[in-house]
Amino acid sequence: MKAISIKQPFVGWILEGKKTLEIRSWPTKIRGDILICSSKLPKIGTNPLGHALAIVEMADCIEFLPEHETFACCKYDDDYFEFAWVFKNVRLIKPFPVKGKLGFYEVPLQPALQIYAHQYIGYQSAISSPA
């Protein structure tokens, strides 16, 4: 499965449903389920570091605009941040260790991957994808 590593505290905010946009300087055409992993650094927050933590739906990649700041949990910066990846349907999983990389990378899923259905974060992004 495609995976992406995200630093704390941002990965925690995605898991909590507070952050529905991941801001990057590069676009992606990837859509569908991706594995969200925590980076090993910085060592802050309560989530296990260097672990796969959730599966999210990558719904879209849109231009990052000032009105997206709340959903991205960061300030608008047109000199660096250009793209907003729209995340929906966060499903927490039983954490397992992963060796992270820059950009997207492949992680083989464990046969007994346990999705915590009772911890499903049932929110919708306030950013709607174009039809």
* Domain-embedded: residue 127: no
pLDDT tens-digit map of 25-41:
999 999 999 999 999 99
pLDDT tens-digit map of 71-99:
999 888 767 779 999 999 999 998 999 99
Domain housing 57:
2-119
* Domain-embedded: residue 125: no
* Domain-embedded: residue 16: yes
The total number of structural domains in the chain stands at: 1
pTM across the whole model: 0.81
SS3 129: coil
What does the block give as tokens for 82? 């250009």
Identify the pLDDT of residue 5: 97
Q: What CATH number is attached to the domain comprising 9?
A: 2.30.130.30
* Domain-embedded: residue 128: no
* Domain-embedded: residue 88: yes
User: How many other C-beta atoms lie within 10 A of the C-beta of residue 45?
Assistant: 16
